[in-house]
Amino acid sequence: MKNILVLCTGNSCRSQMAHGYLNLFTNGKASVYSAGIETHGLNPGAVAIMKEDGIDISNHTSNHVDEYTAIDFDYIITVCDHANENCPFIPSKNALRLHHNFYDPSKVIGTDEEKHEAFFKARNEIKAYCENFANTYL
């Protein structure tokens, strides 16, 4: 069983969506964890947009990366530049570190429709990335 860590700034939005899709696409071949270099709680927009695609992340928790120091990760995926640039040392022996900067839909200011579209776009990009990751590495 492989261990995957998805790391973001606040573990509230992008990393949570990736966590949900990696759980789906790894088909039980991996244990998926998500964390932040800070914790901001679950973003309601992320929860709602994932639910629209049939994935319930409402029971996820916002975790700090320090909670997982005892886990030997096979893959560490950073999903924003801030987390990639400020990622603390994670003591995994041979972890493959991957990075993709997904824009943050929670920063969009506008109408409810514009915010929804931002979450929809981010979700679909994250979904495609996670599916490709699972097909490539697992």
List the catalytic residue out of 4, 8, 55, 83: 8
- Helical packing angle, 44-52 and 14-25, nearest 10°: 30
Q: Phi/psi zone of residue 46: left (φ > 0), alpha (ψ -120 to 50 degrees), beta?
A: alpha
Cα separation values, 21 from 26, 36, 50, 91, 125, Å: 8, 17, 9, 25, 11
**Is residue 87 annotated as a catalytic residue, yes or no?**
yes
Q: How far apart are CA 138 and CA 132, in angstroms?
A: 10
Q: DSSP code of 27?
A: T
**Is residue 13 annotated as a catalytic residue, yes or no?**
no
List the catalytic residue out of 87, 95, 108, 138: 87
List the catalytic residue out of 42, 65, 80, 83: 80
**Annotated active-site positions, please?**
8, 80, 87
